[in-house]
Amino acid sequence: MVVEEKPARLAVGVVGAGRVGATLAAALGLAGHRTVAASGVSDASRRRAETLLPGVPLVEPRAVLEHADLVLLTVPDDALPDLVSGLVETGAIRPGQLLVHTSGRYGTAVLDPALRAGALPLALHPVMTFTGSRVDVQRLNGCTFGVTAPGELRMAAEALVIEMGGEPEWIEESARPLYHAALAIGANHMVTLVAQSMDLLRAAGVQEPGRMLGPLLGAALDNALRSGDAALTGPVARGDAGTVSAHLAELRRHAPEDVASYVAMARATADRALANGMLKAEYAEALLGALADEGIR
């Protein structure tokens, strides 16, 4: 009987055992790869590694690279360029080593110093929020990854994403900042808006604002993903200037810190509603006037 050999498995290292790094390493482990070392300074990183990467030693970043074929650089965006430069200057990078960062902002150009040292650069950004718990590994199933890599490494990059249960989406190097801005607008700003809404509902006497908002926001998100601007509703899209003025009066009284964001989002909504014909010009003038009056207070 002939036994087929399995493809070579990779020794994985993690520089920055935060929520993302530990999760991706755990997912690669489920695909048959082996995490051999990780770096983490904070108590939270150490606890996370114990949970998601049991038995994996926590060492200095240089030592991580000594033992790994594939290195996950999962540090904050602003720290990434200095980290890459530091690893190159200390001679930590080996020729042929796969170097993967998970920043949405950057493509592979940020890894150019490592490329010159012989590393194989990949940018794999999971389009997902992470909690640092085991549930994150499950959430990677079907999760889209923004993938950027040199042309000759594209298949390898996409294969790694698929092994983690994700879906690769190719993003050109030049489009990475725009791609990341789009995701930040959708996900990060949504959290702020939902938190503001919950605070205001509590101030209005609602005991469980999450329970009230869940069905509404779930339906709004579903409608927006299906229909885009056609899903717009509410007083701004209708041109109800009186209602908008009443909202602003209440916000000035109860939550003045939220006035600026309300005005900014209302103006953006009005612009989109005008452009697609939902907001009639005769109603738009009074609405925009109310918003303009607020802007000069």
Q: Yes or no: say if 118 and 96 are a contact pair by the CB < 8 Å rule.
A: yes
Domain end point (choices 141, 171, 201) = 171
Residues 280-291 pLDDT 10s: 988 998 998 889
Q: Which residues of 148-175 are buried (b: 16+ CB within 10 A; e: fewer)?
A: bbeeebeeebbebbeebbbebeebeeee
Number of domains in the chain: 2
Q: What per-residue confidence (pLDDT) applies to 294?
A: 60
Examine the domain organization and report whether 73 and 154 are in the same domain. Answer: yes
Residues 32-61 pLDDT 10s: 999 999 998 778 878 888 888 999 999 999
Judge whether 135 lies within some domain: yes
Examine the domain organization and report whether 157 and 184 are in the same domain. Answer: no
Inform me whether the pLDDT recorded for 1 exceeds 50: no
Mean pLDDT within 5-25: 84
Residue 89's domain comprises 11-171
* Percentage of the chain lying above the pLDDT 70 cut: 96
- Backbone phi and psi for residue 11, each to the nearest 5 degrees, phi listed first: -85, 120
Q: Yes or no: say if 99 and 111 are a contact pair by the CB < 8 Å rule.
A: yes
Q: What per-residue confidence (pLDDT) applies to 295?
A: 52
Q: What per-residue confidence (pLDDT) applies to 18?
A: 85
User: Is 200 strand, coil or helix?
Assistant: helix
Examine the domain organization and report whether 32 and 150 are in the same domain. Answer: yes
Examine the domain organization and report whether 104 and 210 are in the same domain. Answer: no
Judge whether 2 lies within some domain: no
Q: What per-residue confidence (pLDDT) applies to 253?
A: 94
For helices 259-275 and 281-295, give the axis angle rounded to 10 degrees: 160
Domain end point (choices 118, 153, 171) = 171
* Separation in Å, CA 230 to CA 95, 226, 233, 287, 288: 52, 9, 8, 19, 20
Question: Bigger pLDDT: 259 or 6?
Answer: 259
Domain CATH for 252: 1.10.1040
Residues 231-274 pLDDT 10s: 999 999 999 999 999 999 999 999 999 999 999 999 999 999 99
Residues 169-198 pLDDT 10s: 999 999 999 999 999 999 999 999 999 999
Domain end point (choices 122, 139, 171) = 171
Q: What per-residue confidence (pLDDT) applies to 266?
A: 95
